[in-house]
């Protein structure tokens, strides 16, 4: 089954059903990405707006200090200091 599109510049282009389905998948994916990017974000009660800021619903004046150190072939270490 082939879908025939309108003639363009004297040529008639034909699109196979697999091409139609592939374009449909791309269009739906692009629409979902755009919808998620443009939708209004609603804050949930009891949740902080960002991950790792403060503890259990309280906000601190200064954020914690995060120290990361690693050597090739050595030990990897992450230290979080609360101020």
Q: Which residue, 29, 30, 1, is CA-closest to 15?
A: 1
d(CA 63, CA 82): 7
Distance of alpha carbon 77 from alpha carbon 71, whole angstroms: 9
The residue extents of the domains of the chain are 2-38
Verdict on whether the full-model pTM lies above 0.75: no
pLDDT for res 24: 94
pLDDT of residue 73: 86
For 43-75, how does the pLDDT look when each residue is reduced to its tens digit (9 = 90+)? 555 555 555 555 555 555 778 888 888 888 888
Do the beta carbons of residue 1 and residue 17 sit within 8 Å?
Answer: yes
Predicted pLDDT of residue 26: 96
> Running DSSP on this structure, what letter comes out for residue 10?
T
């Amino acid at each position: 089954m082939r879908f025939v599109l309108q003639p363009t510049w004297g040529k008639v282009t034909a699109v196979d059903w697999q091409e139609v389905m592939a374009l449909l998948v791309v269009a739906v994916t692009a629409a979902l990405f755009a919808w998620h990017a443009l939708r209004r974000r609603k804050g949930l009660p009891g949740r902080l707006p960002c991950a790792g800021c403060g503890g259990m619903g309280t906000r601190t004046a200064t954020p914690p200090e995060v120290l990361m150190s690693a050597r090739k072939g050595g030990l990897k270490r992450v230290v979080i200091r609360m101020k």
